[in-house]
């Protein structure tokens, strides 16, 4: 009930600010902010099998760039954070894209270049290096060819992890939102090496070609260099895109600094980092320590909100958006409308 009331208040407040035009005035009155909108892909033939909530249509994105650009400066995350520290200029909005998908070069860059804008692409380094994908892509690729039940059956045929086998059998028997529960078990409960091995076996069995899929779906280092030359900031997002909190401190260090080293070797060391998956349970103090010691100035989460000078740079807020994210809610976050209520103890931003 409390959550429902919060959702109603959130809608009423955002619609009021947006449709009266007050969001423009409030945006000028509130202290300088950097709001980060984030996604993974611009809808493109290369990412057709990825879920809709990972993508945004090119035309929709253009509308956002043009509309929000009237009142705020579009910046990269790195530039935005520097400008916040110097307290210069108007409030800012940044677009970030996670992982390093191929469409970022073919579909995103032309939209940015047409407007002379920058963005930040956080790169997971292994796909750019080794023609190898993390398991989530094999999971989505398989789901484009079979239903959840068939996928679990194929998984169980290959898995050697008794705990995961037991949990997946329970999930199947319980029904409900299989997509959500399956991902949860695979991400947080199962042995990660077994998840990789089992999904790879199921993927190959179904005719999947990992290097070919990797080349189609992800950027190469040459592509990343072309993005960078086009004015896009490249950030760190680890080597393998594993859940950092599932690793010990040394393992986290390897993941974070390994990604930074690949950026430094191919291009230049980056100042911006994003935690894989980005929820607060996906990383911990060891992760932030690793991020700092690898030379990054900021680390971004996937918790919605806006950022000010006083935001902890190791936990920048970012809002995961897709084609269904309403304009009035985004406009309210950007103008500081949710931030204002937070000052009065009312948090409606997520
Ligand atoms: Zn990611």
Question: What would the pLDDT profile of 65-87 be if each residue is shown by its tens digit?
Answer: 999 999 999 999 999 999 999 98
pLDDT of 259 reads 97
Give me ligand 1 centre to Cα 45, in Å.
20
- Give residue 42 CA to ligand 1 midpoint distance, Å: 15
Which of 23-37, 98-112, 154-168, 311-325 is the least confident region? 154-168
Using the mean position of ligand 1's atoms as its centre, give its distance from the Cα of residue 344 in Å.
33
* pLDDT exceeds 80 at position 131: no
pTM as predicted: 0.94
* CA 241 to ligand 1 centroid distance, Å: 6
Residue 172: the pLDDT is 83
Q: What's the whole-number average pLDDT of the chain?
A: 94
Instruction: Quote the ligand 1 centre to 136 CA distance (angstroms).
Output: 10
Neighbour count for residue 2 (Cβ, 10 Å): 6
Residue among 81, 79, 83, 67 nearest 115 (CA) = 67
Ligand 1 centroid, distance to 320 Cα (angstroms) = 11
Higher pLDDT, 142 or 1: 142
pLDDT at 1: 59
CA distances from 92 to 87, 145, 334 (A): 11, 42, 8
Quickly list H helices, 87-177: 103, 109-115, 125-130, 135-143, 148-158, 162-174
Residue of higher predicted confidence among 349 and 251: 251
- pLDDT higher than threshold 80 for residue 176: no
Average pLDDT over residues 300-325: 96
CA of 266 to the centre of ligand 1 (A): 20
Joined together, the tokens standing for residue 96 give: 């970030």
Residue 16 confidence (pLDDT):
96
- Joined together, the tokens standing for residue 321 give 């958006």
Q: How far is the CA of 68 from the centre of ligand 1 (A)?
A: 25
Q: What mean pLDDT is predicted for residues 183-194?
A: 90
pLDDT above 90 (res 130) = no
User: What's the gap in Å between 43 CA and the centre of ligand 1?
Assistant: 17
Calpha distance 51→183 (Å, rounded): 13
Dist. CA 238 → ligand 1 center (Å)? 9
> What is the average pLDDT across 195-200?
94
Is the pLDDT at 173 greater than 80, yes or no? yes
Model confidence at 45, pLDDT cuts 50, 70, 90, reads very high
Ramachandran category for residue 319: left, alpha or beta (phi over 0 → left; psi -120 to 50 → alpha): beta
């Amino acid at each position: 009930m409390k959550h429902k009331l919060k959702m109603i208040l959130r809608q009423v407040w955002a619609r009021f600010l947006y449709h009266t035009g007050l969001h423009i005035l409030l945006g000028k009155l509130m202290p300088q902010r950097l709001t980060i909108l984030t996604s993974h892909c611009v809808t493109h033939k290369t990412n057709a099998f990825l879920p809709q909530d990972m993508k945004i249509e090119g035309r929709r994105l253009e509308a956002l760039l043009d509309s929000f650009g009237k009142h705020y400066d579009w910046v990269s995350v790195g530039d935005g954070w520097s400008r916040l520290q110097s307290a210069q200029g108007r409030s800012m909005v940044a677009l970030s894209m996670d992982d390093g998908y191929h469409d970022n070069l073919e579909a995103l860059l032309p939209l940015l270049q047409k407007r002379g804008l920058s963005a930040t692409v956080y790169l997971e380094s292994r796909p750019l290096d080794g023609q190898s994908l993390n398991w989530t892509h094999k999971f989505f690729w398989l789901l484009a060819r079979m239903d959840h039940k068939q996928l679990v059956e194929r998984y169980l045929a290959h898995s050697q992890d008794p705990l995961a086998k037991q949990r997946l059998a329970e999930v199947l028997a319980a029904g409900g939102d299989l997509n959500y529960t399956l991902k949860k078990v695979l991400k947080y409960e199962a042995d990660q090496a077994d998840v990789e091995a089992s999904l790879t076996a199921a993927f190959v069995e179904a005719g999947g070609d990992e290097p070919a899929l990797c080349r189609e779906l992800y950027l190469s280092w040459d592509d990343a260099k072309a993005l960078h030359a086009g004015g896009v900031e490249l950030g760190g997002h680890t080597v393998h895109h594993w859940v950092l909190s599932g690793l010990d401190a040394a393992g986290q260090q390897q993941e974070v600094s390994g990604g930074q080293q690949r950026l430094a070797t191919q291009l230049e060391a980056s100042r911006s980092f994003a935690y894989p998956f980005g929820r607060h349970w996906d990383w911990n103090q060891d992760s932030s320590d690793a991020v700092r010691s690898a030379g990054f100035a900021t680390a971004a989460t996937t918790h919605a909100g806006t950022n000010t000078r006083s935001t902890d740079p190791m936990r920048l807020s970012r809002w995961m958006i897709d084609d269904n994210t309403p304009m009035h809610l985004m406009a309210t976050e950007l103008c500081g409308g949710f931030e204002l209520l937070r000052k009065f103890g009312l948090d409606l931003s997520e």
